[in-house]
A and B are shown apart, each in its own frame.
Chain A
Amino acid sequence: MAIDWFRFGSPQAFFPVAGKMVPWFAFLAVAFALPGLYLGFFVAPTDATQGESYRIIFIHVPAAWMSMFLYLVMAGWAGLGLVLNTRLSGMMASAIAPTGAMFTFVALWSGALWGKPTWGTWWVWDARLTSELILLFLYLGFIALKAAFADPQRADRAGAILALLGAVNVPIIYFSVQWWNTLHQGASVSLTRAPSMAATMLAAMLLMALAAWMYSIAVALARVRSIILERERDMAWVRMSAGT
């Protein structure tokens, strides 16, 4: 390993690297989303019980997966920042939060649109839906808490504690359908057993999930660049590259 990973812990070193990676991940997001959408809406067969309405799954499940996964990544960065006292970690956590909140909202909203034709209701207070709603509040709380501090270092520390506390909610969301009686059905795809969907449906869903990953990385990197510029605006390297 010739690469010194700690070098990229400095915002100054990370800034140009992130800039180079953004278009690649944006391209990959489109490259996965187009065949995913095509497979999902034109190739995948109609579902035996739900008819066409099940196709919301191609948006709903990737969004729900990303909402949980991004929270763990965000909490991981925040925790890393607490331990190592690196400036970039807090910035990465801040950059991920809005995307995570967006995916949580999409998961809740598409779930409501899906629930009405299948279950017969937009919303129920079952364990899965309620814990996902709490996740949205955790994201919004994280963003609001960080915005409440004028000093970015204190904001990072306070935000990190909230992010780590809230991480407990993620396994609760994931396992809620196993632990309790819920209206929400169990997982169709998990690591422990074969998926319970037709092959083309699964392929479309996984492509959409990959697209959501790539999109998240691209957006988080683009956002962290703005955050770096904003926070390091008094640093010599930012002033020099800005030409002031």
Chain B
Amino acid sequence: MKPRHKRLAAIVAGLALIVIAAALVLNAFRGNVVFFFSPSEVAAKAVPADSTFRMGGLVEEGSLKRGADGLTVQFMVTDTAQRIPVVYSGILPDLFKEGKGVVAQGRLGPDGVFRASQVLAKHDENYMPPEAAHALSKAEAEKAAQSVVVPAAGSR
């Protein structure tokens, strides 16, 4: 029994050390593992200057403008605190929509306009039938007037 317990203790101690080491490394990487920066970080100049980076946020409602060539688009990316204008020329993913999540890769120009070379759509973890989504948005609109019960169908 004794050597068995000794080996168990050694493994538990070893695992604990690995976990601590991993936690320290991950904590040190915390800032570098981000896939994208938020418009607030971009506005605060907390992003690498003169280099390509990704910016993520929501496409501001009513900000999408299409160019005359039909390929160039202009829109605002917002995190509800700050907004950064983005110019992109290319094909947008199917899920790209106003009010939805987006991650754009590119450079920030000196004029404060983000010139994207790639635009990706970021969707959320909610899955529901269209009727439920419709009911939810309707309920949200009515909520301003009075508190309504959201229909049970769909996500909770």
Instruction: List the interface of chain A (C-beta within 8 A of B).
Output: 45-50, 54, 57, 79, 82-85, 117-121, 124-127, 164-165, 167-168, 172, 179-183, 185-188, 194-198, 201
Q: Are A83's CB and B94's CB within 8 A?
A: no
Q: Are B122's CB and A185's CB within 8 A?
A: yes
Flag whether B7 is at the interface (Cβ < 8 A).
yes
Flag whether B49 is at the interface (Cβ < 8 A).
no
Alpha-carbon gap, A180 to B94, bound state (A): 25
Minimum distance in angstroms from B44 CB to a CB of chain A: 16
Total A-B residue contacts, Cβ distance less than 8 Å: 127
93-108 of chain B: CB within 8 A of chain A: 93-97, 100, 103
Interface size class of B (residues with CB under 8 A): 35 or more
Q: Are B121's CB and A118's CB within 8 A?
A: yes
Among residues of B, the one whose C-beta sits closest to the C-beta of A177 is B125
Among residues of B, the one whose C-beta sits closest to the C-beta of A201 is B127
Minimum distance in angstroms from B131 CB to a CB of chain A: 8
Q: Are B26's CB and A179's CB within 8 A?
A: yes
Render B36-54 as a binary contact track against A, CB cut-off 8 A, 1 for contact: 1110000000000000000
Residues of B within 8 A of A118 (CB): 93-95, 121, 123
- Which of B34, B92, B93, B127 contacts A181, CB < 8 Å? B34
Minimum distance in angstroms from A202 CB to a CB of chain B: 9
Q: Are B19's CB and A185's CB within 8 A?
A: no
Residues of B within 8 A of A83 (CB): 4, 7-8, 11
